Structure 1
Amino acid sequence: MRRTLSRFSLRTRLLLLTTGLLLAGLTLVSAVVSDRLERYQLDQLDGRLRSFTTLISRASAAVPSEVDPVTAYPERLEPALDLFGVPYLVHLDAEGTIARDIHSSRLDKANLPPLVDLGAIPADGTPVTLRAADGRERWRAAARTMPGAGGTVVAATPLTELDATITRLRATSLTSGAVLLVLLSGLGWFALGRGLRPLRRIEHTAAAIADGDLTRRVPDIAAPSTEIGHLAASLNTMLGQLERAFADRAASEARMRTFVSDVSHELRTPLFGIKGSVELYRMGALPERADVEETMHRIDREATRLATLTNGLLLLARLDEAPEGQLDRAPMDLRTLADDARHDLRALDPSRPIELTGPGGSGPPGPAQVHADESRLRQVVTNLVGNAATHTPAGTPVRIGVGTVDNRALLEVADEGPGMTAEQAGRVFDRFYRTDRSRNRSDGDNGGLGLAIARSLARAHGGDVELETALGEGARFRLTLPLLDQAV
């Protein structure tokens, strides 16, 4: 049955369900109404039968014993039968045979109840239902004892009119119920079609999304407080998440392709340099020892760059997989790193003005106690200082600030160089990204991994590296870390 219903549309199934419930309701109501009407009419008949038999029973006690109250006054009693609605009256003697009886002239004797059934009626006035002798009609009868005349008196009335009334009621209910069922089914078909219209719009939206239009959303097809409104809102939330997921996946794939391309390029450059130098040596193009030494120096430089690049990639991979496992934490103060960074930068460019201040350039350096891996943080600061030295002209002032801001330890490296555009600032922490790809690679070049490594190491410590810059306004890199008393 379930498999058969599943072949129909939701609209058809709902209509069948509601029609079935309506049919059951109409059937139940019709049955209850007809039963109550039949019970009411039977109660009316039973009351007349009990009253009439009681009257006859009392009359038998008031007349002489030789007078039969059933047939003593037939000219008076027969009209009374029609008046009381009890067209058949029987006097049964002590043996249960009919002593006297009288019935309305409208009755056919062939349709009267049989004697055996009349004798079985209890004489306490309790009404019972009998069948006519021919079995086609039903009768209702009650019996009472007659103290004066002896025996019992039985009053009976046919249920022909009652049965006809109930039959007409049931036929009327059936006809009106069928008409009502047809009308309501038609109205239900159109109402369900209108009610399911939002679902069809959701279906069309889903089909458009399946065809690749991830920007489609379910329109406002119902009030937010309704079930359809809740469904539409939930679907739109899910569709937004799916669109973002697909966009993130596409961006991730694009970044992966760029990363693989950059890795290939960065690895190929030193490898080609080494291979070219070896080929020159094999070809005998290096006859002088000075040429050989220069070539070996070039091979060593390229090998160093290759090792640096490989180590940087390996470190990033480890930080991505298990950042905490790459750290050996201990209490320390960022002022130590700031002071060493100042000396390193001065050694790189003695002409460059270098200032050591508090955060934001206000006041002297402040304490910045952290629980961290000093060698890893030194690598972060070295990358930040090296970035300032590499991307600003010689002699450009640099400020190194250290202290506590907003309950966080801070070390910042700010320069007064050319700064960066918003697009460059948004990508400066990407792996292998260079703001100037035409710049010649030096011996200490890390292949565009320095800032990516710096941010990964900072985040492994529970902190971050942020950038504030604008074109022509310099750049400020901020290393923020949890304070010592907040470190877990």
Structure 2
Amino acid sequence: MHRLSLRARLLLLTTGLLLAGLGLIGAVVSDRLERYQLDRIDDRLRSLTELVSQVSATGPPEVDGARARPELLGPGLDLFGAPYLVYLDADGSPTRSVHSPRLDGAALPPPGALRTVPTDGTAVGLPAADGSGRWRAVARPATGWDGAVIAAAPLTEADATVARLRTSSLAGGAVLLVLLTAVGWFALGRGLRPLRRIEHTAAAIAGGDLTRRVPVLAQPGTEIGHLAASLNTMLGQLERAFADRAASEARMRTFVSDVSHELRTPLFVIKGSAELHRMGGLPGPADVDRAMRRIEREATRLTALTEDLLLLARLDEAPEGQLDRAPMDLRTLAGDARHDLRALDASRPVELTGPGGTGPPGPAPVHADEGRLRQVVANLVGNAAAHTPPGTPVRIGVGTADGRAVLEVADEGPGLAAGQADRVFDRFYRADRSRNRSGGADAGLGLAIARSLARAHGGDVELETALGEGARFRLTLPLAPPPPDRD
């Protein structure tokens, strides 16, 4: 059964139900017809026995062949629908009987069976003496003499009528079943056509074409419509998942490539200096000192790069676990950033304002890890100092805007193109590839770390820039909840 197609199984099921329904209807109709005919025969037999039982007040009339008129008797009994009439004495023995001339005497009910007919007018069935058929009989007690009258009629015609009905029902049901099965086969084929199209779409997707979608096969409110919509939604999610996986793999390959590139240079310097010393290429103490300083510088660079990578990995896995939150105000970080910029470049004008450059700096209370936020601000300030010419003005804004705490670092440097701005927070991305790298931050991880730390706090770092119009990095964080009222 499981090897059959859905179309064949549905057709077998519907055919079986149709066959059962036709059989049940045929049985009910034939039973009702048989009951109707028996009721008609019983009514005629009761009427005749009631009439005959009151005809004679002295005993059964003489109906033997000598005095009866067969040419009138037979049609008369047939007219009443009771071609067999029997008189019983007080002992229940037949004393007189008469039957239609068209009946064979051997086909009449046997005398012994006549004794079993109740005299209360209840109709009963009797067998024929020769077993050729069935009879229906009704008995009534006689009026005026001790005895009973039985009227009986054969059920040959009734049985034949029921048999013809059953034969006709069987033949008609068979024809109807064949026709409906044929119609059902084509109807199911047409109804299942959308499923075959869905199957073809699924096969194409399994072959690698993730852009395929199930076409609109039916109205959205139908089962097929719901199925097509659900499948298209699922296929869209699968396509996005595969695209995200491919993008993630590409990013991983790029990440590994960048890490390898960043590690290669300091490792080569360290290895080269060590081999030069081993080969005797550093004859004097001054040469050894210079080589050791190079090794120390590259080792420091490797340490900073490793720490940055570990921090990013921890932030990706469990960002909240890297934070030690406490109440603080971003104005403290803004003031320290101003002093740091002046220490790096005393000729650089540094202005401390409110968000957007309007008004004085305002309070920006947050519940955050001060050490991690100092790392974020240091990256933003270091980025402004590294990518703008000396003496370029820088503005540090702090306060609240749109219900969030804000700290922004804006410069008037060369700015970035749109393509560069879209990738500036990517790991190992550097807008200026020709810049000499002397520290871990120059590996292109500073802004990526800053954004990851900001998002770990529930905030973000955003960039507004354009070529020739400078750049503004904006750190936004959720405001600290107000302290509870004390009574």
Name the TM-score, length of structure 2 as normaliser: 0.95
- Decide whether the 8 Å contact of 2:302 with 2:440 is kept in 1: no
Q: CA deviation at 1:66?
A: 4.5
- Number of the residue aligned with 2:53: 57
Q: State how far apart, in whole Å, the 2-side matches of 1:422 and 1:55 are.
A: 117
1:68 is aligned to 2:61: yes
Report the CA distance shift for 1:55/1:295 in structure 2 as closer, same or farther (over 3 A): same
Determine if the alignment matches structure 1 residue 189 to structure 2 residue 182: no
Q: What secondary structure, in the 3-state scheme, does the structure 1 residue paired with 2:327 have?
A: strand
Alignment of 1:419-430 (within 5 A): 419-430=415-426
Code of the residue aligned with 2:61 in structure 1: it is D
Query: Partner residue of 1:377?
Result: 373
**Secondary structure of residue in 2 paired with 1:445:** helix
Q: Identity over aligned residues, as a percent?
A: 76
Tell me how far apart the structure 1 counterparts of residues 5 and 171 of structure 2 sit (CA, whole Å).
Answer: 29
* 1:8 corresponds to which of 4, 8, 24: 4
Unpaired runs of at least 5, structure 2: none
Aligned counterpart for 2:140 among listed residues 139, 144, 159: 144
Is residue 21 from structure 1 mapped to residue 17 from structure 2 by the alignment? Answer: yes
- The answer on whether the counterparts of 2:355 and 2:406 sit within 8 Å (CA) in structure 1 is yes
Q: 1:348-363 maps to which residues of 2 (within 5 A)? A: 348-363=344-359
Change (3 A) 1:92 1:335: same
Does 1:34 find its partner at 2:30? yes
How big is each residue's C-alpha offset from its partner over 1:2-50, in whole Å with a ceiling of 9 and x where there is no partner?
Answer: xxx1010000000000000000000000111111111111111111111
Q: CA deviation at 1:321?
A: 2.2
Farther-moved stretch of structure 1 (79-88 vs 233-242):
79-88
| 1:274 alignment counterpart | 270
Q: TM-score w.r.t. structure 1 length?
A: 0.95
Shift of the 68–466 alpha-carbon distance from structure 1 to 2, 3 Å rule, reads: same
Contact 1:56/1:70 (<8 A) preserved: no
What secondary structure is seen at the aligned counterpart in 2 of 1:484?
Answer: coil
Q: What is aligned with 1:236? A: 232
| Counterpart for residue 299 of structure 1 | 295
Aligned-pair distance for 1:446? 4.2
Q: CA deviation at 1:418?
A: 2.4
Q: Are 2:320 and 2:457, in contact at CA under 8 Å, matched by a contact in 1?
A: yes
Which residue matches 2:251? 255
Distance 1:216 1:82 in 2: 82
Contact 1:59 1:69 in 2 (8 A): no
* Equivalenced residues, count: 480
Question: Would you say the 8 A contact 2:305–2:440 is kept in 1?
Answer: no
Partner of 1:217: 213
Matches for 1:63-462 after TM superposition, within 5 Å = 63=57, 65-66=58-59, 68=61, 74-75=68-69, 78-443=74-439, 445-462=441-458
Distance 1:11 1:47 in 2: 54
For the residues of structure 2 that align with 1:66 and 1:209, how far apart are their CA atoms?
A: 99
Residue identity in the other structure for 1:26: L
Per-residue CA deviation, residues 52-73 of structure 1 (Å, 9 max, x unaligned), is: 111112223xx4x145286798
| Corresponding letter in the other structure for 1:68 | P
Distance in 2 of aligned mates of 1:425 and 1:117: 113
**What is the distance in 2 between the residues matched to 1:87 and 1:426?**
110
Structure 1: unaligned runs, 5 residues or longer = none
- Choose which of 450, 463, 466 in structure 1 pairs with 2:462: 466
Distance 1:265 1:354 in 2: 36
1:112/1:290 Cα in 2 relative to 1: closer, same or farther (>3 Å)? same
Q: Structure 2: how far apart are the matches of 1:205 and 1:230?
A: 16
